[in-house]
Structure 1
Amino acid sequence: MIIRQLQAEEFEDSLSLSEYAFKYKMTSEDKEKAKERFKPERVWGIFEQEKLEAKLMIIPFRVNIQGRAIHMGGIAGVATWPENRRQGLVAKLLSHSLQTMNEAGQLLSFLHPFLIPFYRKFGWEVYCEYKKYSIPAANFPAKTEVEGSVIRDHSDIDELNGMYRMFAERYNGTLQRDKDWWTHTVMSEEDHHAVFYSHSGEPEGYVLYKIEKGELVIDELVHLTETARKGLWTFLANHDSMVTGAALKMVPSDDILPYLLPDPRIPQEIYPYFMARLVNAKAFVESYSFNVPSRLQKQKLYIEDKHAPWNNGLWEWSISEEGKGGLEQIAGEQAQADLICGIGTLTVLLMGYKRPEEMSRYGQLTGSETAIQWFEEIVPQATTALFDFF
């Protein structure tokens, strides 16, 4: 067996495997569009005598970490024929993808898991969640007179993206979108959009939505100001004669909308969403902005990462007076470490999804009390989110 990138003429083989694995069938028209957009260099397959046995895609993205762009490899389209399952083919592809992403300078990798325990074995860990609301029309936020106006189905992608960018930078782990991503992934022909403009004409928020079976389905609601939030909800509430309620999807975990409703007792659901993994721990730590600890002592960190051996082992971790991190590998055993954790735990701690003291309490991070407190002190508080799917 060999692992290699696909070639342009192998589009049909790739599509056949995807259709079978993910249980769908493309129309001829959609197939032609997909063929035009097919990027074979992003798809890696395992071949046996030139037959495609399993595959995955590595999509190059940039994501927001502390308001800065970090290169990330998005794993998608992981598929294998049923007769080849449980033979370790996907494991080989995942290990190969880590090497490939490391060589490409992608410090992080994200994926949407079909089975969380499976990907945890390879170092990916849940890094974000989203909320989903169902709001009866009678319980919509109160209609409010605000200075400004809402214009429907008029704005262009550049304007929408400008607002999205400012909103997304508040969170760790959100995608930096380009026009192609907006056109082919975020927007659809069924979607409407509406933008709130301030009294001075500045765009301050938008909503992407559609009406399905008498329900207002809100795919994305972005507001940069409280006035924009009220203005957009007044616009949405004006649909009350057309719909029985609203379903909000992909709501960030720190959202407090239910508290602001006339009656907060609405159905709410929380979903663990995407998984993340540090591809190169040293490079990520050295690109990160830490809080300066009260004592600038170094700590010995042991990282367990058998699938990316360049991360595995004992490291000396330092923080400068400017908050810059340093990670230097040193000889030694796990018993010499002040802190011990797996690569998945380290990922979610540095992204801000979980806190060191919390993970220590549940045995995911071990070490001396002094070292745990040092870790807690250096990592800034943050919230994670992702509003996209791939």
Structure 2
Amino acid sequence: MQVRKLEHQELFDAHRIMAVAFEGEFDPEKERESLKNKKEPEHPGQTWGAFEEGALLGCFDLTSFPVRFDGHHVQMGGVGGVSTLPPYRRKGVIRACMQSAFQSMYQEGCAFSFLYPFSTAYYRQFGFENGAACQTWTLPILSLKLPYTGGTIEQLFPGDDLSPLLEIYNSYYKNFNLSVLRNGYDASLEKENWLNQKRYLYLWRDESGVPRSFLLASRDGEILDCTTDFARKNGLLFTDARSLQALLHFVYGAFSSHYKSIRFTAPSCLRLQSLIPEMAQAECRWFTNGMVRAVHVEKVLSLCSCRGEGALRIEISDPLLEENCGVWKLSFAPGRENLVEKTAEAPDLSLTIGDFSTLICGIRSAEELPWMPAATVCNSSAPLDRVFRAKPCHVLDLF
């Protein structure tokens, strides 16, 4: 089996495999025309594939994103379109692609990889682990009788200046690990006529005219739907409690006669219980925000934020990258860069690459180690909580 990056002329076969795997439509002539006219995307992408006797067996897309991590900017490889033709499944096709792609990413200094799984168990075998918790809230609009907070609401239309959306995104997500650094909030909004899609965009500015929150919504029956999925990228973003309150106050006044509920998704750190006056009919669905994997352990440890001064020896097992395996000694102190080296000393903690990934990103904390069956604490007096603590972490981009 040969694994390599695909050339542009080979993407036709890759997209056909993806259409089979996801049971989607595939028009050969439209696909050829689309590839012929394809322009360079905002984030550069690759497609990795496995071949046998010249035939493409399976593949996936890998898109490089600059993301935030503990006050630094690093690269994250977004994995999507993982596909294998049915006759070649369970033959190690995707494992071979993953191993080659991760090796390339490691050599290029990429820090993390991320994907949205069809099965968490399937992707754990490649070192991925569940991301941070998210919540989708469904709130009866009549329960949103909130006090007026001032400021102004305006409706935006196709062709209007959309830079306030990026300003709000950056203001809220500036301290979230793995949040993508964007040139614009959503490139598709610049190109599409979202009114034809029956989607509507509302922006709230405070008294100084500073954009602080917005919602992009469409109708789903009697629900004002602000959620994002691969079919439609709606959204509700805000910078603080007051800016969310302003949006919900607007929704109550403008839409209580036309919709029964509003639905939106937010990171689990949102505490609506203290903001909404009536929660008896509120619904909340909890889910995980994709899966994350550290690609370059040494780089991640050198950049991670630690509290105080100390040293921690972490043993890592990685099924696909031998470079990550072994015992890593992390020495840290205020006012200087972390020192990272491999050591023959006994470890304080033994982790899989997946568990390490969630701990270093702040998705899990040292207090959760007893609930992680594959983790072994070898030295209970080690400064685990100075390195592994809860931090906001969320990926809003889809790929």
Whether TM-score is above 0.5 comes out as: yes
Output the amino acid matched with 1:213: G
- Tell me the SS of whatever aligns to 1:370: coil
Q: Give the Cα–Cα distance (whole angstroms) in 2 for the partners of residues 100 and 19 of structure 1.
A: 26
CA distance in 2 between partners of 1:342 and 1:253 (Å)? 25
Residue equivalent to 2:355? 345
Change in Cα spacing, 1:185 to 1:2, as seen in structure 2 (3 Å) is: farther
Equivalent-residue separation in structure 2 for 1:361 and 1:227 (angstroms)? 36
Deviation at 1:76, TM superposition (A): 0.9
Which residue of structure 1 lines up, in the alignment, with residue 124 of structure 2?
Answer: 120
Whole-angstrom distance in 2 between the partners of 1:36 and 1:73? 25
SS at match of 2:79: strand
Given the alignment of the two structures, is residue 358 of structure 1 paired with residue 347 of structure 2, yes or no?
Answer: no
Residues 258 and 183 (structure 1), Cα distance of their counterparts in 2 relative to 1, 3 Å cut: same
With normalisation by structure 2, the TM-score equals 0.88
Quote the residue 2:78 is aligned against: 74
Count residues in correspondence: 379
Q: Confirm or deny: 8 A CA contact 1:132 1:270 kept in the other structure.
A: yes
Deviation at 1:369, TM superposition (A): 1.0
The one-letter amino acid of 1:376's match is D
| Structure 1 runs not aligned, ≥5 long | none
Any conservation in 1 of the 2:366–2:389 contact (CA below 8 Å)? no
**Residues 217-237 of structure 1: per-residue CA shift (max 9 Å, x gap):** 013222224332222112222
Match of 1:152 among 146, 150, 155: 155
Residue 182 of structure 1, CA deviation: 1.1
On the 8 A contact 1:303/1:340 being kept in 2, the answer is: yes
Tell me the distance in 1 between the aligned counterparts of 2:48 and 2:24: 21
* Distance in 2 (alpha carbons) for counterparts of 1:82 and 1:116: 20
Tell me what 1:103 maps to.
Answer: 107
Distance in 2, Cα, partners of 1:43 & 1:7:
8
**Superposition CA RMSD, Å:** 2.4
| CA distance, structure 1, for counterparts of residue 3 and residue 368 of structure 2 | 40
- Report percent identity of matched pairs: 22
CA–CA distance in 2 between the matches of 1:24 and 1:186? 26
* Residues 258-295 of structure 1: per-residue CA shift (max 9 Å, x gap): 442232131211012311111111111112221113xx
Kindly indicate whether the alpha-carbon contact (under 8 Å) linking 1:303 and 1:341 is maintained by their aligned counterparts in 2.
yes
Which amino acid counterpart does residue 93 of structure 1 have in structure 2?
A: C
* Cα distance between partner residues in 2 of 1:318 and 1:377: 11
- TM-score, reference length from structure 1: 0.90
Say if 1:224 and 1:12 are closer, same or farther in 2 by CA, change over 3 A.
Answer: same
2:250 equivalent to 1:207: no
Deviation at 1:204, TM superposition (A): 1.3
Distance 2:335 2:296 in 1: 22
Partner residue in 2 for 1:256: 271
Q: Is it true that 1:65 corresponds to 2:69 in the alignment?
A: yes
Q: Amino acid of the residue matched to residue 366 of structure 1?
A: V
SS at match of 2:329: strand
What secondary structure, in the 3-state scheme, does the structure 1 residue paired with 2:364 have?
A: coil
Give distance in 1, aligned partners of 2:177 and 2:324: 22
Q: Distance in 2 between matches of 1:98 and 1:255?
A: 34
Q: Distance in 1 between matches of 2:287 and 2:141?
A: 24
Give the whole-Å Cα distance in 2 for the aligned partners of 1:357 and 1:241. Answer: 47
Q: Is the CA contact (8 Å cut-off) linking 1:66 and 1:169 kept in structure 2?
A: no
* Matched position secondary structure for 2:256: coil
SS of 2:323's equivalent? coil
| 1:278-317 → structure 2 map (5 Å cutoff) | 278-293=294-309, 296=310, 298-317=311-330
Once the two structures are superposed, residues 122-172 of structure 1 have per-residue CA deviations (whole angstroms, 9 ceiling, x without a partner) of 211112121111222322x21432321011115533221111011111322
Shift of 1:323: 5.6
Q: Are the counterparts in 2 of residues 292 and 378 from structure 1 also a CA contact under 8 Å?
A: no
Distance 1:358 1:100 in 2: 32
AA partner of residue 137 (structure 1): I
Return the offset for 1:315.
2.1
The 3-state SS of whatever aligns with 1:122 is coil
- Contact 2:67–2:179 (CA under 8 A) maintained in structure 1: yes
- Structure 1 position 361, deviation (Å): 5.2
Secondary structure at the aligned position of 1:310 is classed as helix
**Residue 162 (str. 1) matches residue 171 (str. 2):** no
Distance 1:224 1:47 in 2: 48
Deviating more after overlay: 38-47 vs 255-264? 38-47
**Would you say 1:386 and 2:395 are equivalent positions?**
yes
CA contact (8 A) 1:291 1:380 kept: no
Q: Which runs of 5+ in 2 are unaligned?
A: 228-234
| Displacement after TM superposition at 1:46 (Å) | 0.9
Which of residues 266, 290, 293 in structure 2 aligns to 1:277? 293
Deviation of 1:349 (Å) = 0.8
Deviates more, 1:309-318 or 1:151-160: 151-160
Instruction: Give SS of 1:347's match.
Output: helix
CA deviation profile, 1:200-256 (whole Å, cap 9, x unmatched)? 2111111121123232001322222433222211222221111121222x3111111
Are positions 1:174 and 2:179 aligned together? Answer: yes
